[in-house]
Amino acid sequence: MKKFLFNNSHVFIPFMITLGCWVIQPWGMIGSIFFCAIGICTFFVGINFYQKRLFQFMEVSEAEKTKELLSKQRHDWLNHVQVLMGYQMMKKNDQIGYYLQKLVTDANRERIISNICYAPLAVFLLTLSVKYKEWEWEVSLADSFEITDDKEAKRLLDLMKQIIHWLQKQGMDYLEWTKIKVMLSQDGRTFSIKWTLADEEGKTIPLDVPQAEWQELEQQIQKNGAELFSEKAHQGMFLRYVS
């Protein structure tokens, strides 16, 4: 976005030139009126061009995201087909049934997530594997989870982004994992998110990070009115806040 702003700032050059001429013009009130009128015109023309370029930029960005998502879905389904064909060649019919049931379960989980009223949160949860490709994601909603207020949903989304940003740093400096499990639940006005890290075999990886790193995250979360708890033996963490 910063690059876009820099690359398109030239649309306001006529307006800036007009302001400069207005400051140094020697014709008094008549000159001021003239350059004021020209300045207003060039300003609104610049705004018009900027809005058009911004719309084009957003349209292309959205198309790129959709293209990437479709590419991932196509890749995933090709993998599923290859796995099923492999089971068929090895005559492992029981594994075929198990794998198909897993696909149905995953599809049902995604359907439930897509029903979240606040679209940005639903899209974020459904596209985690696209935005953060370094990990495999398993996101699920408890039956009790039903967030209908957009303000609270946005708050939840911001908190999740904050946690993921912290996890990225820990992944680079301290821990190694391949999968993140996220469970969202609700008890009245209290929302909770459970985070669990796992390796390729599904074994839970303890959140064994320096105390200073953990305290820094706790302070950041508390500033947003939420609380952070570590499970016994650091087997996972809970984020909780009351709406």
Query: Would you tell me how many other CB atoms lie within 10 Å of the CB of residue 124?
Result: 19
Condensed to tens digits (0 to 9), the pLDDT of residues 27-52 reads 888 878 887 888 888 888 878 887 88
Same domain, 142 and 68: no
Q: What's the domain range around 207?
A: 116-243
Angle at 188 between CA 186 and CA 191, to 5 degrees: 35
Same domain, 171 and 234: yes
pLDDT at residue 226 is higher than 60? yes
Same domain, 122 and 11: no
Residues above pLDDT 90, as percent of the chain: 12
Task: Indicate whether 94 belongs to any domain.
Answer: no
How many domains does one find in the chain? Answer: 2
pLDDT of residue 234: 63
Condensed to tens digits (0 to 9), the pLDDT of residues 87-146 reads 888 888 888 888 889 888 888 888 899 899 899 999 999 889 888 888 889 999 998 888
Q: Does the pTM of the predicted model rise above 0.75? A: no
What is the average pLDDT score of the chain? 83
Burial of 193 (0-12, 13-18, 19+ CB in 10 A): buried
Helical H segments across 90-149, by residue range: 93-114, 119-126, 128-131
Same domain, 127 and 199: yes
Same domain, 38 and 141: no
Same domain, 47 and 152: no
Which residues are registered as beta bridge partners of 240? 192, 227
